[in-house]
Amino acid sequence: MKCIINRRAQFSASHRYWLPELSEAENLQRFGSGSRIYGHGHNYVLFISLGGCLDKYGMVQNLSDVKQVIKREVTSQLDNSYLNDIWQEFQETLPTTENIARVIWQRVAPHLPLVRIQLFEHPQLWADYLGNGMEAYLSIGTHFSAAHRLALSNLSYEENCNIYGKCARPNGHGHNYHLEVTVKGEINHRTGMIVNLVTLHQLVEEHVVELLDHTFLNKDIPYFTEVVPTAENIAIYISHHLEEPLRKLGVELYKIKLIESPNNSCELYCAKATVESAASQHSEPILLSV
């Protein structure tokens, strides 16, 4: 029986987005405040996922051994460091979140049966790397507030209540939605980025947050006059608005996760091949409300 186990670690480090072949003005234009001369720091949180069959002791890997490998190969070297100088790889390709995850994989792979490296720069920005060359995944988090009512226009109030419960009440109700957008792309060999982070945030703000924030979805968004604004359908609507603009940036929309409340969320995988891969490799749902 194959199983995946996860080990958490953390380190604090600083870095700077700066290419010496560019002028100060060019670096500022490309990297914004990340190019400031003294850099900036983060408390990174690292998850290392390992896969394999259980041994006779009921383990994929002895976690004490895993802890020592991570400490020796990663955290003891990166903690309280200036990343641009600490490893040669970061002098060739900038230490972005996605590139740090890639290089950590390279350092740890000879010692552990890796499945995934996930690195959080902060709770609203993280990267996943699965060992596929320069391919990586970058996720950002944002939020919007909106109201909705769950009801089908061709059903009576009583029938809608039987399906949607209190969510069918005629005056609707509201949520503070938390949105996570994950994109997939190739890490640039020099900048370390799969997409410019500032541009990504601006795109999501323009194409999603500005449209949905402080609206009554059923009345203010034409799409939801005919489609019930469940979390699943809102995620589909968001994907429709992001897929083409993201493609123009050179990345693929991989996943939308919409958290309606602490108890309810859904995940939408946005490409057929990606869905099949996610379902087979990670046993994650294509579309899930819990």
Q: Take residue 91 and report the two structure tokens written for it.
A: 């002098």
Question: Exposed/middle/buried for 286, CB within 10 Å: 0-12, 13-18, 19+?
Answer: middle
Q: What is the mean pLDDT of residues 4-30?
A: 95
Given the residues 122, 173, 189, 214, select the one marked as catalytic.
214
| Helix, strand, or coil (residue 213) | coil
Domains 1-131 and 133-290 share a fold: yes
Given the residues 98, 121, 260, 267, select the one marked as catalytic.
260
Distance from C-alpha of 5 to C-alpha of 166, rounded to nearest angstrom: 39
Residue closest to 235 by CA, chosen among 283, 197, 178, 194: 178
Model confidence pLDDT, tens digit, residues 139-169: 999 999 999 999 999 999 999 999 999 999 9
Model confidence pLDDT, tens digit, residues 211-263: 999 999 999 999 999 999 999 999 999 999 999 999 999 999 999 999 999 99
Residue 53 appears among annotated catalytic residues = no
Residue matched to tokens 């190739």: 186
Q: What is the mean pLDDT of residues 165-177?
A: 96
Model confidence pLDDT, tens digit, residues 106-150: 999 999 999 999 999 999 999 999 999 999 999 999 999 999 999
pLDDT at 272: 53
Distance from C-alpha of 60 to C-alpha of 79, rounded to nearest angstrom: 27
pLDDT at 83: 97
Distance from C-alpha of 211 to C-alpha of 135, rounded to nearest angstrom: 31
Q: What is the mean pLDDT of residues 20-45?
A: 93
pLDDT at 238: 98
Overall residue count recorded for the chain in this entry: 290
pLDDT at 284: 38
CATH topology for 1-131?
Answer: Tetrahydropterin Synthase; Chain A (3.30.479)
* Mean pLDDT, rounded, of the chain: 92
Q: What is the mean pLDDT of residues 183-208?
A: 97
Report in angstroms the alpha-carbon separations of 267 from 176, 232, 238, 284: 17, 8, 12, 9
Domains of the chain, residue spans: 1-131, 133-290
pLDDT > 60? residue 99: yes
Distance from C-alpha of 104 to C-alpha of 142, rounded to nearest angstrom: 27
pLDDT > 50? residue 201: yes
pLDDT at 258: 98
Distance from C-alpha of 177 to C-alpha of 202, rounded to nearest angstrom: 18
Given the residues 167, 205, 232, 284, select the one marked as catalytic.
167
pLDDT at 225: 93
Low-confidence winner among 28-32, 68-72, 89-93, 189-193 (lowest mean pLDDT): 28-32
Using the CB atoms, write b or e for 131-164: b if 16+ within 10 Å.
eeebebbbbbbbebebbbbbbeeeeeeeebbeeb
**Which H or E run includes 198?**
helix 197-204
Confidence of residue 1 (pLDDT cuts 50, 70, 90): confident
**Which H or E run includes 86?**
helix 83-86
pLDDT > 90? residue 286: no
| Helix, strand, or coil (residue 90) | helix
Residue closest to 199 by CA, chosen among 254, 137, 256, 242: 242
pLDDT > 80? residue 17: yes
| Helix, strand, or coil (residue 5) | strand
Does the domain at 133-290 match CATH 3.30.479.10? Answer given as: yes
Distance from C-alpha of 159 to C-alpha of 57, rounded to nearest angstrom: 54
Confidence of residue 290 (pLDDT cuts 50, 70, 90): very low
Residue 167 appears among annotated catalytic residues = yes
Confidence of residue 289 (pLDDT cuts 50, 70, 90): very low
Residue 205 appears among annotated catalytic residues = no
